[in-house]
Amino acid sequence: MADISTLNSFAPSTPLQDDDASPTDIRPRSGKPAEAPEPSQNAARLDGEEVQVDKVLQSDIGVNTLLTRLKQSITSARDLAAFLKKRAVIEEEHSQSLKKLARSVQEVARRSDHRQGTYSHAYDEASHIEERMADHGLQFAVSLHRMSEDLHELASNMERNRKQWKQTGLSAEKRVQDATSLAEKAKAKYDNLAEQYDRVKTGDKQSGKFGIKVTKSSAQLEDELHRKVSNADGDYQAKVQAASSARQDLITTHRPQAVYHLQQLIFECDSGLALQMQKFAAFIEKLLLSKGLCVSPLRNGPSNSTGSKSLREVVHEVDGQKDFSDYILSFSTGAHSTADVQYERHPTMVPPTAPAAPTPGPPATPTAQAPSPANPIATQHPMGPPGIQPLPQPLSQPLPQHLPQQLPQHLPQPLPQPLSQPLPQPSSQPLPLSMAQPLQSAPVSNHPPSLPVPVQALHEPFHHPQMYQPYIPPPGPPPQHMSSAPMMAPSRVPAHPGNGYHQNLPPLNPVFGVSLEDLYRRDGTAVPMIVYQCVQAVERFGLDLEGIYRLSGNSTHINQLKSLFDNDSSKVDFTDPERFSHDVNSVAGLLKQFLRELPDPLLTRHYYADFINTARNDNDTQRRDALHAIINSLPDPNYATLRALILHLNKVQEHSSQNRMNAGNLAICFGPTIMGTNSGGNIADAGWQARVIETILSNTFQIFDDD
């Protein structure tokens, strides 16, 4: 018969209960299991229904009943684990789909063809609320997965311990049954021999074994049967004693131990089931409460320490009138009214007029005669001083026939003005020959004459002199404004940018349209100087500028800055904002234009398909590691330039609360720029391009160091 040490070897491997715990106590225990309490001690504490329960458990069917009950608990644990696992899968798929939808909504809301302003802001905030709700759902799914694994582990431990105690308990029961069976067989043998001995002793002869052939005398038969009866009696007594001893051990030791430990396993499994169901209820409440707080945070509560707004408040902030006004006013700089179309007759198309014959006569007063449209030359003297218009001459003498009669139509016509004092009467004598000679020497031409009057004088208001005085040129060389050099119209004066650089500089060392390999061999720097200058300008003056890299700069200004770098990039210094007229958006646009005009995109056409295929992987960790491996395979100039650009964009996204440019926005702006629009992909790759850049930005310091 197995001793107590042998039975202890079948004890469950998981801790069950403290040594001083009762059979109904379900607290976890450590160390070796204690000896089962005596039935008399249990009976003293149990009464009523518990006494009946204990009576059944201590009966011959107690161990089998407990084994069946433990099997039910194990089956229930596995069923609950399977339910939690399926529930976790459903919740995870729902949350992942909701999160992807929220991100796609955010990307759509930032497109230029989408409505902006308060609506875009509310749309973005609502999608962020949806994303936070999805995060809570993912946490709930993780908790359910953990609960399912715990229940599976509990069921496995219970099944293993059940097998151990089934073998221990039933083997003890089997030993008692075997001993009892042997005792019953010994009794039957003893009874049979005793009956035969009694018949031989009394002389009763019957047919049978002893009646077929008798070779011995009655005395010999009696002695032989007596000896057999004595042996059977001894064997019977020994078997009864062995069965009694085995049953005593079973009742006092083996059965109580098996019942006790099976009870503990049942209580532990049931308590585990109850605990996981309580956790499931608590997690359901927490999930619903968290989603409710996302939709409507508590006022002045600990969960609203950041001042989050409810979904209702976010939606009510949409102001359609303000969005409409802001959109219209954004075009105010380009709102110019077209000037009215006016008819201007070309000077060459003015019909010639025949001058009247010069006849002496009284001079006309300046205030009583208006100039004739048919004789415009009477309003100006070709050799008069600049800025002074003479009074109309009296038409007492005819003008020479060869005087130019085709003057510009736009010359101002003098109007008579009332004079406060009468002008002195001019002499009625004809003009001296010396004064009329310049008019006679004027050549005949089919084109408007070049007047020696400055252009500005043509547009000044007309003023009458107090008295007409013929202009006599001073001796010496003519003044500068009287030079015969052709004058330049105001619209043809070359304009210079505000930063002091000329607009059209010769491309001595071109940068745009040159590959990174060629720039590296020519300049000796892995990161082109234009990238370095633009990055430091944005980091110094544009990190908090809203819409940086999304809002385009002035195209004319960008072309001016481009000519500077194509001329000599080593002489450009953007540490002074005056050098780029404080226009950081133009600097950002210059950097994007440089990347767009690279002959081979920054991420190269060779690896384009690898980047797109990697972006299709939904596992964030695997996608990050695969992109890391591809980036390490880029050429050295491309790797160095990409590293500088990504570290810079990471700084930009760190200020997204001010500039509204997070990783997703920057990825949309730089996806086609860095990967190229003509790299063999179609327009459907735009989303995957953005996902590549967003993954790199989200794992900046896992892919690049920040030295």
> Which pLDDT value is given to residue 298?
84
- Which range has the top average pLDDT, 102-106, 465-469, 506-510, 564-568? 564-568
Percent of the chain with pLDDT over 90: 37
Determine the pLDDT at residue 583. Answer: 93
Reported as a single tens digit per residue, the pLDDT across 314-336 is 888 898 888 888 888 888 777 77
Query: Domain spans of the chain?
Result: 58-201+220-295, 516-703
What gap in Å lies between CA 146 and CA 232, rounded to an integer?
66
Q: Rounded to the nearest 10 degrees, how much is the dihedral formed by the CA atoms of 306, 311, 314, 315? A: 180
Q: Indicate if the alpha-carbon torsion angle 218, 221, 223, 225 is positive or negative.
A: negative
Confidence at residue 132, expressed as pLDDT on a 0 to 100 scale:
87
Q: What is the pLDDT of residues 374-396, one digit of tens each?
A: 443 333 444 444 444 444 444 44
* Contacts of residue 673, Cβ cutoff 8 Å, sequence gap at least 6: 592, 595, 596
Domain 58-201+220-295: CATH superfamily, name plus number: Arfaptin homology (AH) domain/BAR domain (1.20.1270.60)
Interval 503-517: pLDDT, tens: 567 888 899 999 999
Among 43-57, 147-161, 418-432, 525-539, name the one with the lowest average pLDDT: 418-432
CB 268 within 8 A of CB 26: yes
Which residues, 6+ apart, have CB-to-CB distance to 142 below 8 Å? 88
The whole-angstrom distance between residue 399's C-alpha and the CA centroid of its chain comes to: 86
Residue 507: what pLDDT?
Answer: 83
Task: Write the pLDDT tens digit of every residue in 686-696.
Answer: 889 999 999 99
- Distance of CA 505 to CAs 178, 228, 510, 582, Å? 113, 135, 11, 21
Contact predicate 12/165, CB 8 Å: yes
- The pLDDT tens digits for 554-592 are 999 999 999 999 998 888 999 999 989 999 999 999 999
Taking residues 267-287, what's their average pLDDT?
A: 93
Among 665, 700, 683, 682, smallest CA distance to 103 is for: 665
Q: Which two tokens stand for residue 382?
A: 């070709």
Distance in angstroms (rounded) separating the CA atoms of residues 91 and 140: 8
Q: Tell me how far CA of residue 411 lies from CA of 367, 492, 694, in angstroms.
A: 21, 21, 65
Helix then strand then coil, % of the chain, to nearest 5:
60, 0, 40
Q: What is the pLDDT of residue 172?
A: 81
Identify the band that residue 457 occupies on the pLDDT scale cut at 50, 70 and 90.
very low
Residue type for position 707: D
What sign does the CA torsion over 410, 412, 416, 422 have?
negative
Confidence of residue 251 (pLDDT cuts 50, 70, 90): confident
> What does the pLDDT read at residue 389?
42
**Which pLDDT does position 93 carry in this prediction?**
93
Of 548, 579, 525, 517, nearest in space to 660 by CA = 548
Which range among 20-34, 271-285, 539-553 shows the weakest confidence by mean pLDDT? 20-34
Residue-level pLDDT at 41: 52
Is the CB of residue 321 less than 8 Å from the CB of residue 315?
A: no
Model pLDDT, residue 428: 41
Mean pLDDT within 240-256: 84
Which of 572, 490, 13 lies closest to 261 in space, CA to CA?
13
Q: Which pLDDT score is estimated for 30?
A: 40
pLDDT of residue 486 exceeding 60, the answer is: no
In the prediction, which pLDDT does 601 show? 95
Q: What is the mean pLDDT of the chain?
A: 74
Rounded Cα distance between 238 and 241, Å, is 5
Contact in structure between 326 and 119 (CB atoms under 8 Å):
no
Residue 265 near residue 165 (C-beta atoms within 8 A): yes
The predicted-structure confidence for 122-134, as pLDDT tens digits, reads as follows 888 888 888 889 9
Residue 36 contacts residue 260 (beta carbons within 8 Å): yes
- CATH code matching the domain that covers 516-703, chosen among 1.10.600.10, 1.10.3210.10, 1.20.1250.20, 1.10.555.10: 1.10.555.10
Higher pLDDT: 430 or 307? It is 307
Tens digits of residue pLDDT in 42-96: 545 556 777 888 888 888 888 889 999 999 999 999 999 999 999 999 999 999 9
Indicate whether 468 pLDDT > 80.
no
Share of the chain above pLDDT 70, in %: 67
**C-alpha to C-alpha distances, 483 to 212, 389, 493, nearest whole angstrom:** 174, 19, 19
Question: Counting Cβ atoms within 10 Å, is residue 150 exposed (0-12), middle (13-18) or buried (19+)?
Answer: middle
So what's the pLDDT on residue 7? 33
Identify the burial level of 63 via C-beta atoms within 10 angstroms of its C-beta, where 0-12 means exposed, 13-18 middle and 19 or more buried.
buried
Structure letter (DSSP) for residue 250 = I
Label residues 652-684 b or e (16+ Cβ within 10 Å = b).
bbebeeebbbbbbbbbbbbbbbbbbeebebeee
Which pLDDT tens digit goes with each residue over 288-315?
Answer: 998 888 888 887 766 555 667 888 888 8
Whether residue 704 contacts residue 643, with contact meaning beta carbons closer than 8 Å, is answered with yes
Residue with tokens 């992109």: 627
Find out whether 117 and 330 touch, Cβ atoms under 8 Å: no
Instruction: Give the count of beta carbons closer than 10 Å to the beta carbon of residue 449.
Output: 14
Tokens 């007047």 belong to residue: 451
pTM: 0.39
